[in-house]
Amino acid sequence: MPADSTHTKSSRFGFVIDHRRCIGCHACTVACKSENEVPVGDFRTWVKYVDKGIFPEVRRHFTVLRCNHCDAAPCVEICPTVALHKRTDAIVDLDRDRCIGCRSCMQACPYDALYLNEDTGTAEKCHYCAHRTELGFEPACVVVCPAHAIIPGNVADPGSEIATLIREEKTSQRKVEKGTKPRVWYVDALDEALVPGSASEPPEFIWAERPTPQPAIPPGFDPPPADLVTAFDVGHAPVWGWHIWSYLVTKNVAAGAMMVAPFLTILGVTSAPSTAMGVLPELVALVFMGLTGFFLVHDLGRPERFLKIVFTPNPRSWLVRGTWILIGFGALCVVSLGLRVTGDRETSDLVRWINLPFAIMASGYTAFLFWQCRGRDLWLGKDLFPHLLVMAGLMGAGVALVMAAPDGRFATAEMTFVGFALVNVLWFSFGRYLRSATEDGDKAHAVMYASGGPRLARLPLYVSVVCVLFSGNIAGGSTAVEMIFRLVAVVMSIVGLTIYERSWVRAGQEVPIS
């Protein structure tokens, strides 16, 4: 093996992929799968084929894709249990024993470099064959490459082959605008092959069926040029589904219930503190917190490892910070509930005020979590935090609406609920005019609105507004009928938010990132 690949304490490893030499043979892919027991259908490194030109003037370009071992790796930052970590030799490694299978790293990585091993329930990725590198051997992909197209080594050594290539040849890197500081350099790579979505994708690849559906072209965007076609690639299916959009809704119901709790008197709610109605905010918060916990734990590849977030936390991860916030929020809800049940209303009211910032952050911390998902540009919008609070406000107003005594009048609680419902309707409507900081973000945004999700989400909110506005007139003085209309309004508002969150989570994963 080359001397410059020898492992030392001062090593700063990286890769150069020399596409003047690559012949697209997939030997690196096969060797990696064999060496690291990568399951069928998953890849730590793969070769993408992009054809440029029109027959007979056409050339096939090969592009080797893999983990970039970033110096500012977003997967390391978001990993809640320090399973992913940056070693002193610059290798980004993963400890299976710490991984809980939350897949947040897969959303944070802008390069699609991680996958979930369904057999172990843990994430996996290229780790520079650290078990070989530590013994002075080259990574398996390097050993089998017949053209010496993969050059590993210590970038910190100016005399090494890799450092010489970086210094003397024109190189390119993937998505440097993400600020990840990648440690994979490409020589003579086709620029369009390094930028996802630049080439058109056919219904089927050569030698293989598509593992994922053909990406749709969002309205308002021009299709890729006809002379640029992805002939072969590896598909990456969405990794977050119904658990996540359900969690977003249930968490906002819980947070909203306690956000409104200190203001119930202002909203005209005067329930006896020790009655079921008097403790409704705490009961709603705790029930929906329970549902939130169930969705999060059930979504894990290894749910029994959830407690690792508590006992081996990464304090930089908003998954961990969010867990701390939810624990504090839940504990204060229990204390407030206990005080009200025992008749200590004054202390319970104080606890509700203390819990208010926890409730706000229980709703809003998810914005910071999604901002750590740097691979998904739709989720990086700066309006996310206030939007979460507006949705939580609607849920809290729903709790106040149920608690307020039906008397046929359009009072403060009704006005508050209708106001928050209409604000959410306007947000869903005019959100289509918002623009992202990136083209991928705009594409995902266009995909979301083309799906009809935000438009459909408005309908249940309209129904909820109508139920509240006309419940007094329709009820004809019957408090029971008026309460039924209010409950329908609250349920429909939850349905509307669920539809919106579903479309938002799905659209964020529709735009290819590799």
What confidence tens digit (pLDDT) does each residue in 31-69 have? 999 999 999 999 999 999 999 999 889 999 999 999 999
391 is written with which tokens?
A: 């949705």
pLDDT at 10: 72
The amino acid sitting at 385 is F
Calculate the alpha carbon distances from 308 to 86, 290, 305, 372, 470 in Å.
19, 19, 6, 20, 50
pLDDT of residue 301: 67
Integer Cα distance of 394 and 257 in angstroms: 9
* pLDDT at position 44: 97
Q: The sheet that has 57-66: what strands, in order across it?
A: 57-66, 45-54, 228-232
DSSP readout, 381-435? -TTHHHHHHHHHHHHHHHHHHHHSPP-SS--HHHHHHHHHHHHHHHHHHHGGG--
Distance in angstroms (rounded) separating the CA atoms of residues 252 and 234: 36
Per-residue pLDDT for 110 more than 70? Answer: yes
Give me the percent of the chain exceeding a pLDDT of 70: 95
Sequence letter at residue 275: T
pLDDT category, 3, cuts 50, 70, 90? very low
Q: What is the mean pLDDT of residues 118-127?
A: 94
Residue with tokens 């002075």: 136
Average model confidence (pLDDT) across the chain: 92
Higher pLDDT residue, 227 or 411? 227
Q: Provide CATH code, domain 3-232.
A: 3.30.70.20
Q: To 10 degrees, the CA torsion angle through 44, 49, 50, 53?
A: 170
pLDDT level of residue 474 (50, 70, 90 thresholds): confident
Tens-place pLDDT, residues 366-383: 999 999 999 999 999 989
C-beta separation of 492 from 463 below 8 A: yes
Is the per-residue pLDDT at 208 higher than 50? yes
pLDDT higher than threshold 80 for residue 8? no
> Mutual orientation of helices 242-260 and 280-299 as an angle, nearest 10°?
160
Greater pLDDT, 75 or 405: 75
The pLDDT value given to residue 477: 64
Q: Dig out the tokens for 398 from the structure.
A: 């729903």
pLDDT at 315: 96
pTM of the model: 0.93
Max Cα distance, the chain (Å): 89
The residues facing 200 across adjacent strands are: 229
Tell me which H or E stretch contains 258. helix 242-260
pLDDT-above-90 percentage for the chain: 79
Q: What is the pLDDT, as a whole number, of residue 95?
A: 95
Long-range contacts at 31-34 (CB < 8 A, ≥ 24 apart): 31/140, 31/141, 31/143, 31/144, 32/126, 32/140, 32/141, 34/140
Residue 305 binned pLDDT confidence (cut-offs 50, 70, 90): confident
Residue range 123-133: average pLDDT? 96
- Between these two residues, 169 and 215, which has the higher pLDDT value? 169
Phi, psi of 476 (to 5 degrees): 60, 35
Distance between CA atoms of residues 435 and 117, nearest Å: 36
Mean pLDDT over 244-261 rounds to: 97
Report pLDDT for 235: 87
Element (H, E) at 293: helix 280-299
How many residues belong to the chain?
A: 514
Q: What number is the average pLDDT over the span 429-441?
A: 89
pLDDT given at position 220 = 85
- For the chain, the structural domain boundaries read 3-232, 242-508
> Between the CA of residue 284 and those of 147, 269, 274, 361, 512, what are the distances in Å?
64, 16, 15, 17, 39
Task: Convert the pLDDT of each residue in 278-301 to its tens digit.
Answer: 899 999 999 999 999 999 999 986
User: What does the pLDDT average to over 311-339?
Assistant: 96
pLDDT band of residue 489 (cuts 50, 70, 90) is very high
What would the CATH number be for the domain defined by 242-508?
A: 1.20.1630.10
Tokens of 213: 């559906």
Instruction: Decide if pLDDT at 331 tops 70.
Output: yes
Give one DSSP letter per residue of 186-250, joined into a string.
EES--HHHHSTTSSB--SSBTTB--SSPPPP--TT-PPPPTTEEEEE---------HHHHHHHHH
pLDDT-derived band at 85, boundaries 50, 70, 90 = very high
Q: Indicate if the pLDDT at residue 4 is higher than 60.
A: no
Distance CA(386)–CA(370), nearest Å, equals 14
The 10 Å CB-count burial string (b at 16+, else e) for 413-429 is bbebbbebbebbbebbe
The pLDDT of residue 243: 95
Reported as a pLDDT band with limits 50, 70 and 90, residue 217 is confident
- With cut-offs at 50, 70 and 90, classify the pLDDT of residue 1: very low
> In this predicted structure, what is the pLDDT of residue 272?
62
| Rounded-to-integer distance, Cα 188 and Cα 186, Å | 6
Task: Write down the pLDDT at residue 273.
Answer: 63
Instruction: Identify the band that residue 447 occupies on the pLDDT scale cut at 50, 70 and 90.
Output: very high
The band of 212, judged by pLDDT with boundaries at 50, 70 and 90, is confident
pLDDT of residue 491 exceeding 90: yes
Angle ∠(169,171,174) on CA atoms, nearest 5: 170
Q: Is the peptide bond before 406 cis (omega within 30 degrees of 0)?
A: no
Contact 289, 254 (CB under 8 A): yes
* The three-state (H, E, C) secondary structure of 74-85, written as one string: HHHHHCCCCCEE
- Distances in Å between the Cα of 375 and the Cα atoms of 10, 185, 237, 380, 503 are 30, 19, 14, 9, 18
